[in-house]
């Protein structure tokens, strides 16, 4: 393959040498496009020696051969490592102020970026929004990892290791269109069960993981129906969302959508119970006194019902969010749950006050009906989404 490795100006640029080297040793042709800032951290002679090609930096070099677009047009795969917060902002805005920006805009190849920055920058609202924008356009993210950063700082923002980046990139290159012709239903978010017109019983699911699964499936050629329950983030424009509120509404929508689906992925967090009755007006504490008693009734088990009614060849994937932090104990819970539900695969993840729900990262273990582990993933929710789809294939 003809692979473009973009390098931007962060301290993690020194690790890009390992990325380039791994691609070359795997037999690929590598063109390095480095920003001026990147060359402050790693020298051009080093990159040229490792890539075995000239390093491209200047937008105005090779004008006669229209190099500012030719590099991107010829690429089979583009990897940017590291990707700084500034580069991600430019990418989200569609800017082409340098050769790397032009190369990306001129290419139709799959793109993988490996963010690297301080934790505060990664968690800044602007960066979060920019990541959502570029993933909505089909750009893939690996990491960032949690670990030692520059100086004494430690936390989310460390660039993924070169071997992990190369493995993800090569897997991505093989993914293009691999779900073409497949109809996939994805649920996302969390159902809410009203107590009255003002209050509800709900959960902390934002819908980020389900949206990431839907977007990853779209980028790989699938026809996707996304059923969103009270999403706290907007799904990108490439995916049409059918909005629902309660578990009963979700059950009805999934049953209809699943009728002609090849795969149903139940990533939504579904309420197990709902109030037996809903008050027509706001419940007042002045009339209820010190204790408010609620009677809850069990909701339908959507995943179990889907698994019972699935047609031949249809695949059902469930999610199990548990507060168990011990991996072995979590696996025991997951095996018991997949036996009860009857689905084909179950995605296990540990959630808590600060993990899982409403975050940008996730860590999952995927098991099949036999209880065997068939996949694991840690990183951004897009990375996790693609690992789930890889297992599906």
In 3D space, the residue among 173, 117, 120, 112 whose CA is nearest the CA of residue 144 turns out to be: 117
The answer on pLDDT for 381 being more than 90 is no
Distance separating alpha carbons of residues 5 and 56, to the nearest angstrom: 10
The answer on pLDDT for 278 being more than 70 is yes
Give the CATH number of the domain where residue 273 resides: 3.40.50.10300
The answer on pLDDT for 176 being more than 70 is no
The answer on pLDDT for 64 being more than 70 is no
366 is in which domain, residue-wise? 183-392
Distance separating alpha carbons of residues 138 and 133, to the nearest angstrom: 9
The residue out of 149, 173, 197 marking a domain boundary is 173
Give the CATH number of the domain where residue 77 resides: 3.40.50.1950
Distance separating alpha carbons of residues 241 and 188, to the nearest angstrom: 10
User: Do residues 126 and 233 both lie within one domain?
Assistant: no
**pLDDT one-digit tens code per residue, 13-29:** 999 999 999 888 878 88
Catalytic residues: 203
Identify the pLDDT of residue 104.
Answer: 93
User: Do residues 234 and 163 both lie within one domain?
Assistant: no
**pLDDT one-digit tens code per residue, 210-237:** 998 998 888 788 999 999 999 988 877 6
The answer on pLDDT for 338 being more than 90 is yes
CB atoms within 10 A of CB 240: 10
Tokens, residue 223 = 């026809």
The answer on pLDDT for 66 being more than 90 is no
Does 327 reside within a domain?
yes
Identify the pLDDT of residue 244.
Answer: 97
Does 178 reside within a domain?
no
User: Do residues 64 and 85 both lie within one domain?
Assistant: yes
User: Do residues 192 and 119 both lie within one domain?
Assistant: no
User: Do residues 32 and 82 both lie within one domain?
Assistant: yes
25 and 165 in contact (C-beta within 8 Å)? no
- Contacts of residue 335, defined as CB under 8 A and 6 or more positions apart, other chains included, come to 367, 371
Q: Which of 124-133, 168-177, 268-277 has the highest mean pLDDT?
A: 268-277
Does 205 reside within a domain?
yes
User: Do residues 344 and 255 both lie within one domain?
Assistant: yes
User: Do residues 159 and 300 both lie within one domain?
Assistant: no
User: Do residues 151 and 219 both lie within one domain?
Assistant: no
**pLDDT one-digit tens code per residue, 85-122:** 999 999 999 999 899 999 999 988 899 999 999 889 89
Residue count of the chain: 393
Question: How many CA within 13 A on the CB side of residue 356?
Answer: 23
Identify the pLDDT of residue 219.
Answer: 76
Distance separating alpha carbons of residues 224 and 211, to the nearest angstrom: 11
User: Do residues 147 and 197 both lie within one domain?
Assistant: no
Q: Could you tell me the pLDDT band of residue 341, with boundaries at 50, 70 and 90? A: very high
Question: Which of the two residues, 251 and 177, has the higher pLDDT score?
Answer: 251
User: Do residues 134 and 199 both lie within one domain?
Assistant: no
The answer on pLDDT for 304 being more than 90 is yes
Distance separating alpha carbons of residues 292 and 339, to the nearest angstrom: 37
Count: domains in the chain: 2
């Amino acid at each position: 393959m003809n692979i473009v490795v973009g390098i931007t100006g962060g301290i993690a640029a020194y690790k890009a040498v390992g990325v380039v080297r791994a691609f070359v040793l795997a037999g690929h042709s590598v063109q390095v496009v480095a920003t001026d800032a990147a060359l402050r951290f790693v020298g051009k002679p080093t990159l040229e020696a490792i890539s075995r090609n000239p390093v491209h930096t200047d937008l105005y070099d090779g004008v006669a051969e229209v190099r500012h677009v030719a590099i991107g047009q010829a690429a089979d795969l583009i990897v940017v490592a590291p990707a700084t917060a500034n580069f991600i902002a430019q990418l989200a805005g569609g800017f082409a102020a340098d050769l790397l920006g032009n190369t990306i805009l001129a290419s139709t190849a799959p793109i993988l970026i490996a963010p690297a920055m301080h934790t505060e920058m990664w968690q800044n609202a602007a960066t979060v929004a920019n990541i959502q924008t570029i993933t909505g356009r089909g750009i893939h993210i690996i990491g960032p990892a949690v670990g030692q950063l520059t100086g004494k700082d430690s936390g989310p923002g460390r660039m993924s290791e070169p071997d992990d980046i190369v493995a993800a990139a090569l897997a991505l290159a093989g993914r293009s269109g691999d779900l073409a012709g497949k109809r996939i239903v994805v649920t996302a978010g969390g159902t809410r069960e009203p107590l009255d017109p003002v209050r509800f019983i709900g959960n902390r699911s934002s819908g980020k993981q389900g949206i990431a699964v839907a977007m990853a499936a779209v980028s790989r050629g699938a026809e996707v129906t996304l059923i969103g329950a009270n999403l706290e983030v907007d799904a990108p424009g490439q995916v049409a969302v059918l909005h629902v509120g309660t578990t009963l509404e979700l059950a009805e929508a999934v049953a209809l959508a699943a009728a002609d689906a090849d795969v149903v992925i139940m990533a939504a967090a579904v309420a197990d119970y709902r109030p037996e009755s809903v008050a027509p007006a706001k419940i007042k504490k002045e009339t209820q006194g010190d204790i408010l008693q609620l009677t809850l009734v069990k909701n339908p088990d959507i995943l179990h019902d889907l698994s019972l009614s699935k047609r031949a060849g249809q695949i059902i994937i469930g999610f199990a969010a548990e507060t168990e932090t011990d991996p072995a104990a979590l696996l025991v819970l997951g095996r018991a749950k997949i036996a009860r539900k009857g689905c084909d695969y179950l995605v296990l993840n540990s959630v808590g006050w600060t993990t899982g729900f409403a975050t940008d990262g996730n860590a999952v273990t995927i098991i099949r009906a036999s209880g065997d582990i068939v996949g694991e993933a840690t990183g951004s929710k897009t990375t996790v989404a693609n690992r789930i789809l890889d297992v599906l294939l």
